[in-house]
Structure 1
């Protein structure tokens, strides 16, 4: 059961595109492109926060979005469901502490059903 999850994470990491420009962090996390959006991943303890912004770094309301963070913790993939919290933030709780800079990917589904993902190395 672990091997398919590792393959899924590896596929997600390989399938995402590399950022052509630099985007600065607004909440102390790491930023990646996810389709037409920028996603900023902030991990503290078991909490995962993902902040959404557009190409011009303007906040995008999180209402109607849902997502999943697939992060590698202790060499194993950990899935964290993300739900809208406030403003442009999606949040979720992992079963264990994630560390400050977990590697992995964030998958988003927008209100219109479109999907996007961003990777964090």
Structure 2
């Protein structure tokens, strides 16, 4: 009986990341859950924009927020500094062209101390 319970627990533990999903956000990028928020990532050439919304997909004002995007480019991780741009958008510029649908993670520190992390697959 213990082995059945252990197997079920392992299946649930490994299924959780699979249950996380990306959807298309209102700005045309991939959008993922980041705790109680949503994070949308858009890319154009070397510029990345990250939009933060609440659970109801209403824009969250992020003046003073900062962050980092760690994206896989050419099989290697690339770190891109993000700064608050306007409204609910952070922006950063990569040192090389980015794929239109990059894989990686975005970490954001809001001015109130809240940290957000979104993973893109």
TM class, shorter-length: 0.7 to 0.9
Separation of aligned partners in 1, 2:120 and 2:41: 8
TM-score by length of 1: 0.80
3-state SS of the aligned residue for 1:97? coil
| Aligned-CA RMSD value | 2.2
Residue range with higher mean Cα deviation, 52-61 or 108-117: 108-117
Q: Number of residues paired by the alignment?
A: 107
Write out aligned runs for 1:26-65 (5 A): 26-65=26-65
Aligned to 1:79: 79
| Unaligned residue ranges in structure 1 (runs of 5+) | 1-13
Asked which structure has the greater CA Rg, the reply is: 2
Contact 2:69 2:105 in 1 (8 A): yes
Aligned to 2:5: none
| Unaligned residue ranges in structure 2 (runs of 5+) | 1-13
TM-score by length of 2: 0.80
